[in-house]
Copies of this chain bind each other. A is one copy, B any other.
Amino acid sequence: MVYIGIMETTSSTPMSGRKAQAARNDQVILQAAREVFVADPGAPISAVAERAGVGISALYRRYAGKEILLRKLCSDGLKLYIAEAEAALADDGDPWTVFARFMRRIVEADTHSLTLSLAGTFTPDEDLHRESAHAERLALEVFERARDAGILRPGLEVADLSMIFEQLASVRLGDEERTAQMRHRYLALVLDSLRLTSAGPLPGPPPTAEEIGRRWSTA
């Protein structure tokens, strides 16, 4: 293919200029990477470039290697998770509404698709560990607030939420929109169950934070 500068006509940011294009590529590449790796965690890096409509070198100029890119994606996911948790904590409306919305937002953000499928495929960063710990802390707060409000089924633990998010992330049917639809369907199902304050406790010991975290050690 011949090298052709992309002539943008739409623009909130200045349309041309090499820097503008580069900045746009920053976004395009990350978006493509997310889509590609969510669909197939083992996808080759060239697939990301194709999806983004750029050459491979555009990728390597930004990220020194595949692992760096994966770390970046995970980090972004955690940041998103943290933001949603903080939003939930800042909201002092009806406890159940706040809790349910938090769950819905996380499912929509699809943070756990990467988290789950990428676990063990690369060595976590120091920053990643910090962010992960932070996310855990906030999630615990969100959970405890709901529990203390007495709106949750007895026996539930924070770690259960992680497992539920991962299960919902495993739902993948057709295009992105259809997938989102299906996930909402099963989230609704689970939420009704989480709400059963008079139900008996769940069988088996809940997952521990250690069990959940261990999967990140490079196999």
B residues less than 8 Å from A211 (CB atoms): 173-174, 178
Tell me how far the C-beta of A153 lies from the nearest C-beta in chain B, rounded to whole angstroms: 8
Given A163-B186, A186-B163, A181 contacting B204 (CB threshold 8 A) = yes
| A173-209 interface bits toward B, Cβ cutoff 8 Å, 1 = contact, 0 = none | 1100010011011101110111010010011111100
- Chain B's closest residue to A40 (CB) is B219
A193 touches B202 (CB 8 A): no
A166 at interface, CB cutoff 8 A = yes
At the interface, is chain A mostly helix, strand, loop or mixed?
helix
| Nearest chain B residue, comparing its CB with the CB of A184 | B203
Chain A residues numbered 20-56 whose CB sits less than 8 Å from any CB in chain B = 42
Give the copy number: 2
* A196/B207 in contact, CB under 8 A: no
State whether the Cβ of A170 lies closer than 8 Å to any Cβ in chain B.
yes
Check A190 against B188 for contact (C-beta < 8 Å). Answer: no
Which listed residue, B42, B170, B178, B194, touches A166 by the CB 8 Å rule? B170
Q: Is residue A164 contacting chain B, with contact meaning CB distance below 8 A?
A: yes
Q: Which residues of A approach B to under 8 Å, CB–CB?
A: 42, 116, 160, 163-164, 166-171, 173-174, 178, 181-182, 184-186, 188-190, 192-194, 196, 199, 202-207, 211-212, 214-215
Would you mind naming 6 contact pairs between A and B with Cβ atoms under 8 Å apart? Answer: A164-B186, A173-B211, A181-B205, A184-B203, A185-B206, A188-B202
